[in-house]
Amino acid sequence: MADFVAAPPVPRSYPRLAAFTAQEIAEAERCGYIGDHTDIADEVSWSCSDPLKFTSEMVEHGNNPRAWRGKPYLIWFCYVFENLKAIRRPLFAIEELFLHFQSNLIDNLAQMFAGCGAWDETITPEDWVRIHPVLQKYHVRAVRLLAIERE
């Protein structure tokens, strides 16, 4: 069974990957978090090779912005947010991220969007008006956490 069916890997050209060191980029590529999937509107289906997936250690690492797995979560959330209209099931993609990384780094995002995987819809213009401002504050928080990590 695939680990991800809605969240596409982050493309190598994504500018926020600059928060990673070269070693971290190599590790993210080995795990499958970074890839060359080109059409994010298509259904995705891929499995991650992160050795901590489905372990209790992921909770510790996913909730620490200075830990290696905290950064991919933040970067990936930014990527999904910045491509909300293009990703086939964007809210499910967000749910997949916090379930995989077992993270609550971005305030209460997990509690707010838990269960969105059941919503098998793209975001309509009406949804956009409601959802975008809510997710915008989480995006701002993720960007701030990435900036703090660089200092």
Chain-centre distance of CA 119, in angstroms? 18
Question: Residue 75 in contact with residue 140, Cβ under 8 Å?
Answer: no
Burial class (CB in 10 A: 0-12, 13-18, 19+), 135: buried
Question: Residue 116 in contact with residue 6, Cβ under 8 Å?
Answer: no
Asked which of 1-15, 30-44, 110-124 is least confident by mean pLDDT, the reply is 110-124
Q: Specify which of 7-11, 54-58, 114-118, 120-124 reaches the highest per-range mean pLDDT.
A: 7-11
Predicted local confidence at residue 14, as pLDDT: 94
Distance (Å, rounded) from C-alpha 46 to C-alpha 84? Answer: 19
